[in-house]
Chains A and B, each alone.
Chain A
Amino acid sequence: MKARVFITLKNGVLDPQGKAIHHALEGLGFSSVNDVRAGKMIELDLADGTPDSDIEDMCRKLLANTVIENFRIERLANA
C-alpha cells in the first residue's frame, strides 16, 4: 500500500520560495495569482496494514518539522 504525506508551512510562517515562485509567475504574465505557498510531497510504499499512527509517528519524528510545518497523510487506494 502507498501513502502520501503532504508537508506545508504553517500559516504565518514566511515562505520565501513561495514568494519567489509568485513573482516568477507574475513575470510570465499570470496576474491572477494571489499567493503561492511551496511545500513537499513524500510518497511512502508501506507494508500492508501499517497503521495510521505509525505514519503519523514518521511525520513527527522526521518527515515534518512541526515547529514550522504541518503535515497531512493521504492513503492511496489500490496502490
Chain B
Amino acid sequence: MNSAVIVFPGSNCDRDLAVALEQVTGRKPAMVWHKEAELPEGVDFIGVPGGFSYGDYLRSGAMAARSPVMRAVVDAAGRGVPVIGICNGFQVLTEAGLLPGALMRNARLSFVCRNVRLRVENSQSLFTAQYDAGEEIVFPVAHHDGNYQADEATLDRLEGDGRVAFRYLDEVNGSGRRIAGILNDAGNVLGLMPHPERVIEPAHGGTDGRRLFEGLLETVAA
C-alpha cells in the first residue's frame, strides 16, 4: 500500500499517522506538503491528520480545505482512492465538501482529551472490516471542535445508509446522535474525531486502532 499523509502548517498528528502506517504496511508514507498541487504517482491511500491546521483560523479546517493539495485529494477521492480524516482531518474533509455536516465547538466548550468508548456501527466498510458489528472499542480523543452537526434529514440519511461508522457510547462533545465518525456515500472516505493511530501498539495503552489500518491494507492490497 502506497500511502500519503498530508501535512499542513499546524498539523501535529502527521508523524503519529505516518508511524502507524509504516508499522502496519511496512512502507513509509509520502509526506505531502499542503502547497503541492499533485499527489505522488500511485498513491492508493491518503491520510489527513489531526492538529490545528492554520491555527484553526476562521473555522477549524477551513483554510486547509482550500489549500492546493486538497484539490488533488478531492480528485483522488472521486476516483475511489480511500481517504481517512482524523480529528482536524475530519474537519478538513467536511470543509472540503467530501463529507456532509460540520464540526462545531464542543457543547460544553471545554477541550476534551481522554479515552472514549466507541461502538463500531458499520463493520462492512473499507476501514472497519476487521471489527465486529456492534463491537465496543476504545480510542483517545483530543479536540475542541468535535461536535458533529448536520440537519435532521442528513443525519437520517447517514443512519439509514449505514454511513455512521463509529458512535460514542457516552456523551463526549454534544455531537448529533453521538456520531463519532462517518463515511461518504461511496464508502471510500472516512472522517472521525477519535484517534485510531494513537492506539496501535501495547505501549500506547491499547491496540484497538491497529485493525483499522490492517483492514485497509488487506482491502487495498487485494
Contacts and interface: CB of A to CB of B under 8 A. Distances in A.
B157 to A, nearest CB: 14
Interface stretch (B32-40, B102-110, B158-166): B102-110
Contacts of B58: 62-63
B98 to A, nearest CB: 13
Interface string A48-79: 00000000000001110101100000000000
Contacts of B107: 14, 16
B104 A68 contact: yes
Main secondary structure of the interface of A (DSSP, over half): helix
Interface in B152-175: 174
Contacts of B174: 14, 16
Given A65-B102, A67-B150, A16 B109 contact: yes
Contact of B109 (A17, A62, A68): A17
B124 to A, nearest CB: 27
Contacts of B94: 67
B188 interface: no
A20 B105 CA distance: 12
B105 A68 contact: no
Interface in B11-32: none
B149 A13 contact: yes
Contacts of B102: 65, 67-68
Q: What is the interface residue range for chain B against chain A? A: 10 to 19
Main secondary structure of the interface of B (DSSP, over half): loop
A65 B59 contact: yes
A73 B198 CA distance: 43
A3 B149 CA distance: 30
A53 to B, nearest CB: 19
A65 B91 CA distance: 12
Contacts of A20: 109
A14 B145 CA distance: 13
A63 B59 CA distance: 9
A63 B62 CA distance: 9
Contact of A13 (B59, B95, B104): B104
Interface string B168-201: 0000001000000000000000000000000000
B114 interface: no
Contact of B108 (A16, A61, A65): A16
A63 B95 CA distance: 11
Nearest to A61: B66
Contact of A65 (B62, B105, B106): B62
8 contacts: A13-B149, A14-B149, A14-B174, A16-B107, A17-B105, A61-B66, A65-B62, A67-B101
Interface of A: 13-14, 16-17, 20, 61-63, 65, 67-68
